């Protein structure tokens, strides 16, 4: 497998990350995970825009123009023989690079840009969730960014696994529903679609945004609002979204079965059409 | 400068971190920063114990016995010519190592242990603080660990700098005083010493613990409790602590001068004696 690092493609085994990289030492970086369909990264613009916004908020510098990054992704997908793969994943990582010891921003930033790809099987058909103890913090700058700081989510997913579930249901510090360990959550209230409002405790997902735009056009009313955990008890369906999985229905929450909502499949089908259209434009 | 990586000492420029290391990709690791005085790491046992506790909580594996780590530190301090330096810093980093894509724990963990040293000048005589918007989360497993996930603190310190101060005063999500960007905080209430109680939103500092044990013996009453920001307005002194700086008085908070409390210097002197005693035992 090959990786792209700061302008060059090389075998992963020959790629060296500097031990002084702040991405490693301080979680001081951002990333995006994109779905690649038949060689084409899906929602490339949206992912890059989110990365650039995160860079602005955190004072990081992306040293390459969008066109250069797009070409790098294409080159790497080709180098790894994934042009014709039905599904693959691509990860674009930006770190603040190396710097002197301590938290202060380095006077002369030398950012690290790393791109990798991986084969991807089909997404899971269903996922079970368990509510975990780690909660999302609306006052955390990194909570609303796709930052390298994923340890809480790693711990959350492992706690869920220990509880016999496949992913974590994370609340925010106010006790409201936030997200899964690496996915947004949607809740069916009859035929109305609810999702936690973006008040800083969730990552504003690319798929989440696409669905909120798509749903009204096919007759589904959506609302972004605070969702109490109790509300899940009377939900007529729940599903997760992220770029790699798309829409995945939730089968159980804390051991209790969640109804399968027929509209989830309809929305998923409409989302697939949207992905095809996006790929055709590319 | 030389580093120690997984058993070997080499020039930093020859040390390669694997681009698939979860420390880099997910902030999935822990670290300790130790003060080295005349070649001897201060409170080595305490730092290693905290690291091992963090590893247990997060399901990480430290592949080397304490004696091996201690010898590695000694060897590296020697290799970098810091045996006689009055002050230096040593950083011990443990990551979960490489693994397949995603958050799930790797089935066969190959952890990364990295040790580095850096020369250290004298600590600052005083530091000014500004209250920042990022808040510490008591429901975050990583908030109470010295985890690699420091982006919020990096952003907090930069916000403080933009406000004309040298470090950040961070509140917790409940709006109570928590800590600075990489230091605990103590507040003088007359001759009584207060520090935020450890309720998950702060890193339980090694220096903090040492002072709480030391102070009563020299006639200073201490209390760990919730401290409201308003309380700082009538504080008779404030100081920060961490392993590298020891005790550093706070000069200003949000532009308002903080009184210099005479007992801070007395406590700092007692702490220096403690460090000398610890070094003598070593």
pLDDT digits (tens, 9 = 90+) for B97-120: 998 889 999 999 899 999 999 999
Per-residue pLDDT, averaged over B256-276, amounts to 95
Bridge partners for A115 per DSSP: A4, A92
Q: Given pLDDT bands bounded at 50, 70 and 90, which one contains residue A276?
A: confident
Q: Taking CB atoms and an 8 Å limit, are B28 and A57 in contact across chains?
A: no
Strands A177-179 and A222-225: unpaired
What's the confidence (pLDDT) of residue B281? 66
What's the confidence (pLDDT) of residue A282? 59
- Nearest CB among B19, B28, B141 relative to A3 is that of B19
pLDDT digits (tens, 9 = 90+) for B109-149: 899 999 999 999 999 999 999 999 999 999 999 999 999 99
Check if the beta carbon of residue B182 is closer than 8 Å to that of residue A59.
Answer: no
Chain A contact probe: residue of B1, B19, B26 with most A CBs at under 10 A: B19
Q: Which residues of A touch B142 (CB under 8 A)?
A: 149, 151-152, 155
pTM recorded for the entire structure: 0.97
Chain B contact probe: residue of A1, A9, A10, A19 with most B CBs at under 10 A: A19
What's the confidence (pLDDT) of residue A203? 97
Q: Taking CB atoms and an 8 Å limit, are A24 and B148 in contact across chains?
A: yes
Q: Which of residues 22-51 of A touch B (CB under 8 A)?
A: 22-29, 31
- Nearest CB among B24, B104, B142 relative to A23 is that of B24
- CA dist B195 → A111, B33, B192 (Å): 38, 21, 10
Residues 6+ apart with CB under 8 A from B175: B135, B228, B229
What's the confidence (pLDDT) of residue B280? 66
For A114, name the nearest residue in chain B, comparing CA atoms only.
B19
Per-residue pLDDT, averaged over A87-114, amounts to 95
Strands A127-136 and A246-253: parallel
Per-residue pLDDT, averaged over B223-249, amounts to 97
Domain spanning B127-281, CATH architecture = Alpha-Beta Barrel (3.20)
Please indicate if any CB of chain A lies within 8 Å of the CB of B209.
Answer: no
Cα gap B189→A103, rounded to integer Å: 30
pLDDT digits (tens, 9 = 90+) for B73-89: 999 999 999 999 999 99
Give percent of chain A above pLDDT 70: 99
End-to-end CA distance of chain A: 25
State how far residue A160 is from chain B, nearest Cα, in angstroms: 11
Could you tell me how many helices (H) and strands (E) chain B has, helices first? 6, 15
Higher-pLDDT residue of B163, A101: B163
Q: What count of Cα atoms within 13 Å lies in the side-chain half-sphere of residue B93?
A: 29
Q: Decide if pLDDT at A88 tops 80.
A: yes
Q: Taking CB atoms and an 8 Å limit, are B139 and A140 in contact across chains?
A: no
What's the confidence (pLDDT) of residue B277? 84
pLDDT digits (tens, 9 = 90+) for B42-55: 999 999 999 999 99
Q: Taking CB atoms and an 8 Å limit, are A139 and B116 in contact across chains?
A: no
In this chain, the answer to whether the domains covering A2-119 and A127-281 adopt an identical fold is: no
Give percent of chain A above pLDDT 90: 95
Q: Decide if pLDDT at A21 tops 80.
A: yes
Q: Given pLDDT bands bounded at 50, 70 and 90, which one contains residue B276?
A: confident
Q: Kindly state the helix (H) or strand (E) to which residue A277 belongs, with its residue range.
A: helix A262-281
Q: Is A10 exposed, middle or buried (0-12, 13-18, 19+ CB in 10 A)?
A: middle
Cα gap B68→A216, rounded to integer Å: 62
Q: Decide if pLDDT at A232 tops 70.
A: yes
ipTM of the complex model:
0.96
Please indicate if any CB of chain B lies within 8 Å of the CB of A117.
Answer: no
Cα gap A163→A155, rounded to integer Å: 12
pLDDT digits (tens, 9 = 90+) for B172-194: 999 999 999 999 999 999 999 99
Cα gap A122→A278, rounded to integer Å: 20
Average pLDDT score over chain A: 96
What token pair was written down for B197? 């109680």
Q: Given pLDDT bands bounded at 50, 70 and 90, which one contains residue A280?
A: low
Q: Decide if pLDDT at A278 tops 80.
A: no
Cα gap A96→A84, rounded to integer Å: 33
Q: Decide if pLDDT at A121 tops 70.
A: yes
What token pair was written down for B239? 């100081």
* Domain positions in chain B: 2-119, 127-281
CATH class given for the domain over A2-119? alpha beta
CA B100, A99, B36 angle in degrees (round to 5)?
95
């Amino acid at each position: 497998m090959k990786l792209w690092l700061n302008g060059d493609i090389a075998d992963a085994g020959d790629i060296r990350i500097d031990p002084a990289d702040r991405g490693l030492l301080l979680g001081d970086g951002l990333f995006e995970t994109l779905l690649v369909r038949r060689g084409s990264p899906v929602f490339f613009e949206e992912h890059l825009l989110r990365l650039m916004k995160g860079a602005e908020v955190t004072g990081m510098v992306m040293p390459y123009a969008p066109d250069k990054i797009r070409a790098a992704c294409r080159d790497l997908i080709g180098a790894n023989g994934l042009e014709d793969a039905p599904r693959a994943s691509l990860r674009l990582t930006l770190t603040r690079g190396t710097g002197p010891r301590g938290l202060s921003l380095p006077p002369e930033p030398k950012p690290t840009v790393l791109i990798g790809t991986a084969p991807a099987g089909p997404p899971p058909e269903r996922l079970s969730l368990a509510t975990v103890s780690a909660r999302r913090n609306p006052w955390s700058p990194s909570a609303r960014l796709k930052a390298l700081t994923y340890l809480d989510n790693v711990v959350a997913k492992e706690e869920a696994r220990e509880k016999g579930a496949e992913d974590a249901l994370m609340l925010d510090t106010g006790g409201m529903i936030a997200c899964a360990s690496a996915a947004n959550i949607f809740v069916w209230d009859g035929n109305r679609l609810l999702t936690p409002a973006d008040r800083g405790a969730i990552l504003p997902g690319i798929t989440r945004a696409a669905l909120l735009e798509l749903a009204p056009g096919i007759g589904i009313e959506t609302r972004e609002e605070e969702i109490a955990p109790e509300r899940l008890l009377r939900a007529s369906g729940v599903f997760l979204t992220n770029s790699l999985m798309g829409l995945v229905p939730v089968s159980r929450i804390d051991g209790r079965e969640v109804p399968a909502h027929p509209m989830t499949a309809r929305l998923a089908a409409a989302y697939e059409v949207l992905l095809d259209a996006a790929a055709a434009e590319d």
